[in-house]
Amino acid sequence: MVGFFRLKSMGKFDRRSEEARAWRGWYGLARWKAIRKHQLAIEPLCRYCRLQGKIEVAEVCDHVERHNGDPDKFWNGPFQSLCKPHHDATKQAEELRGFSTAVGEDGWPIDPSHPANR
Ligand SMILES: [Zn+2]
């Protein structure tokens, strides 16, 4: 039953801005659900965990690049599969800093936007 409740709690709304409201609704569309299902089928494990040498089942279909409400980026990706903790922690940090601080097995940041990779 844990999975069921987790799914239900995903319907939280964030009212930060008018702009945010519009694209947040896209996550409820059948089109997005099909994309998410496909992404988790082709990449069932969390990409960040894998890069750190761990095996974790992914739950989130994440946009590799921030879409900022751009319909083309939102619907066409590219996408990556992440576990919930990685999605929440890493994406929050990314939104604050503009890049992810997640590191791979070699200790090097995996985000191409990280200053170390520019
Ligand atoms: Zn993970």
Q: Each residue's pLDDT tens digit in the chain (118 positions)?
A: 444 444 444 444 445 566 667 888 999 999 999 999 999 999 999 999 999 999 999 999 999 888 888 999 999 999 999 999 999 887 777 777 777 777 777 888 877 878 888 8
> Ligand 1 centroid vs 46 CA: distance in angstroms?
5
Residue 64: which residues within 8 A CB-CB, separation 6 or more?
A: 77, 78, 79, 80
CA of 58 to the centre of ligand 1 (A): 7
Instruction: Quote the ligand 1 centre to 86 CA distance (angstroms).
Output: 5
pLDDT score of 20: 61
Q: How far is the CA of 102 from the centre of ligand 1 (A)?
A: 10
At which residue do the structure tokens 């097995």 appear?
Answer: 105
Distance CA 31, CA 26 (A): 8
pTM, two decimal places: 0.66
Q: What local confidence, expressed as pLDDT, does residue 19 receive?
A: 60
- What distance in angstroms lies between residue 18's CA and the mean position of ligand 1's atoms? 30
- CA 89 to ligand 1 centroid distance, Å: 10
Residue 55 alpha carbon to ligand 1 centre in Å: 8
CA of 80 to the centre of ligand 1 (A): 11
